[in-house]
Amino acid sequence: MALLLKEEDVRALLAMPLALELIEEASRRQAAGQVPLHSRQRLELPEKVFLHYMAAGDPARGYMGMKLYTSVRGALRFLVPLYSAKNGQLLALLEADYLGQMRTGAASGVATKYLARPDARAVGIVGTGLQARTQLEAIVAVRRIESIRAFGRNPDRREQFCAEMSKRLGVSVLSARSAEEVVRDADIVVTATTASFPVVQGKWLAPGTHINAIGANFPQKRELDGEAVQRADTLVVDSLEQSKVEAGDLIQTLGNDAARWSAVRELPEIVVGKTVGRTGAREITLFKSNGIAIWDVAVAARVYELAAQRQMGQRIPLGEHCG
């Protein structure tokens, strides 16, 4: 019988240290060519109704699965079906809103670990939604952060975010009056917005900055202007194939220039040392995160294992019959 895991089950089992470990391990398998990966596909219906789906196999751990989600007028609903890679059995269905927030934050944490300066102490974040929370949680886990500035368009939500995250992280999170105030002099910059047009300008970036840009995964959307991308000495993505389709920040700057795209590196190759990341204290590094299915599958698999061990979730009679 398959195991149904609700949001509350996932929250009880998944903490950031575990998510960071799982994403880094999955990156190593991805770099070794052990992860079949299908980029995100989108089925669009009238009135901006979307069904999104992406898939990955993790044969080394014995799993394969998908992330499915809908976005309808701003409302998103996430689900991960997890299968055995040995016999095709449906093992689990996981509600995956929190799982998605955690794996996205953890991926930025891994990128920060390998690309930010070791002495990075100040973070600036543009965006104060749910994704912003796990971004900060992951960064604080991999660097000794001493100060954080946050900007979001809604002043009340921004103040609430700063108060909540200061308490959660044990680091002062201060409210900023503009995105520029957030970015200038930050060692690490995060963009976690739903913006269609740039919220960060390259001229604001100090030498040595590391950027995690996570919000835009449509080709027509971007959070960074062209100068921000052009100033980056090192451009890093989670999947080059997927980035060429949906990383608007890069697509709108690099265009169809094959030579410029050839300089873009994949994070897994940096994790295993196949290629270098940061090589100097004054370099600007950029991680453009789109989100890939192996992150969902790897995290979902471990959550499933923990739930089975602890007898959590609900057993449901699905996928028991085969033709």
Catalytically active residues, by annotation: 67
Q: Cα–Cα distance between 37 and 254 in angstroms, integer?
A: 24
Q: Which of 194, 155, 201 is nearest to 176 (CA)?
A: 155
Q: Which of 269, 231, 237 is nearest to 253 (CA)?
A: 231
Quick one: tokens of 110?
A: 């891994």
The one-letter amino acid code at 80 reads V
Q: Cα–Cα distance between 309 and 267 in angstroms, integer?
A: 32
Kindly tell me the sign of the dihedral angle through the C-alpha atoms of 95, 170, 125, 237.
negative
Token pair 């921000």 is found at 228
Quick one: tokens of 242?
A: 């997927």
Answer yes or no: are the C-beta atoms of 163 and 190 closer than 8 Å.
no
Quick one: tokens of 95?
A: 């509600």
Q: How far is CA 308 from the centre of its chain?
A: 26
Q: Which of 100, 93, 159 is nearest to 128 (CA)?
A: 159
Q: Where are the alpha helices (DSSP H) in 184-225?
A: none
Longest alpha-carbon distance in the chain: 62
